[in-house]
Amino acid sequence: MNEKKEKYLSTGEFAKLCKVNKQTLIYYDQIGLLSPVVKNEKGYRYYSIHQLELFNVIDVLKDLDMSLKDIKQYTQNKSPEGFLDLMYKKKEEIVKKRQEIEMKERIIEAKIEIMEEALSTDFNQIKLEQLPEATLYLSRNIENISNEEFVEVVSDFIDQLYISNLDSGYPIGVITKREQILKGEFTNYSYLYIEQPTPKEGYPYFQAVKGEFLIGYHVGDDKTIHQTYERLFLEMNRLNLVLGDYVFEEYIYDTIVKNYEEEFVTKIMMAVYHQDK
């Protein structure tokens, strides 16, 4: 069959071009997805070079999680308009997947940065530090709510981060107002927050004003956090500082890197100013 060498490819040759095994092509033929253009009386099967493009489209659609059943339905009802509609739809899916991958990359980069900093930090140290202005995405107010309501708020907050691609990879922290801290209500938080280094438009944000912060680290669970606050207050008095409007807390070590609560580390950032100001 002279035409075979010029125009047709055997199953093995076509499979090699497509970078698949012969069984894949045989299966596609069995389900009516992609069949050889020639099947002679001896049972030999030959493909046209022009079918390579169709195979490539099938392969791309399959990689984009389109079922073979749906791909077959398209191939049996082909049209330029249908192909264009399908390509636009798949392009939108690719854009969405790329955004999700980019978000995951940002999350990983942030977590690497935080953990590398933590490994070089002395958790016994209390320091006065100038922090830049930060943009925070907040939960709804959580002051004086029950444990059940708190769980609901946390769940809603995390859902919103996922739905709106707002997870920056930075820790989910809590904000406590000055009046709660002064009353010793260290776990009567006002809001959950997550820092937004590149804020997206259309969302309500809180600007954590730049300024001086007294920073300390609590090792252990919430039941003993008052001890760390007492240390911070002593240092505040020594430096002649006054507590500002808000205190921010973030987990540095939690269940991701530690097995026991007594090993957890919370970073406490207290906005402060000098008494003579």
Rounded Cα gap, residues 17 and 212, in angstroms: 65
The residues, any chain, with a CB within 8 Å of residue 144's CB and separated by 6 or more, are 188
State which amino acid sits at residue 197: P
Strands 45-48 and 8-10: antiparallel
* pLDDT tens string 183-213: 999 999 999 999 999 898 889 899 988 899 9
Question: Domains (ranges, CATH) in the chain?
Answer: 2-78 (1.10.1660.10), 122-274 (3.20.80.10)
DSSP alpha helix (H) spans, 19-141: 22-30, 51-63, 68-75, 80-119
CA proximity to 181, closest of 275, 264, 244 = 244
Tens place of pLDDT for every residue, the chain, 277 residues? 444 445 789 999 999 999 999 999 999 999 999 999 988 877 788 999 889 999 999 998 998 889 999 999 888 888 899 889 988 998 998 998 898 888 889 889 999 999 999 999 999 999 999 999 999 999 999 999 998 999 999 999 999 998 898 999 999 999 999 999 999 999 999 999 999 998 988 898 999 888 999 999 999 998 999 999 999 999 999 999 999 999 999 999 988 888 999 999 999 999 999 886 5
pTM (2 decimals)?
0.71
CB 234 within 8 A of CB 272: no
End-to-end CA distance of the chain: 97
Rounded Cα gap, residues 210 and 201, in angstroms: 21
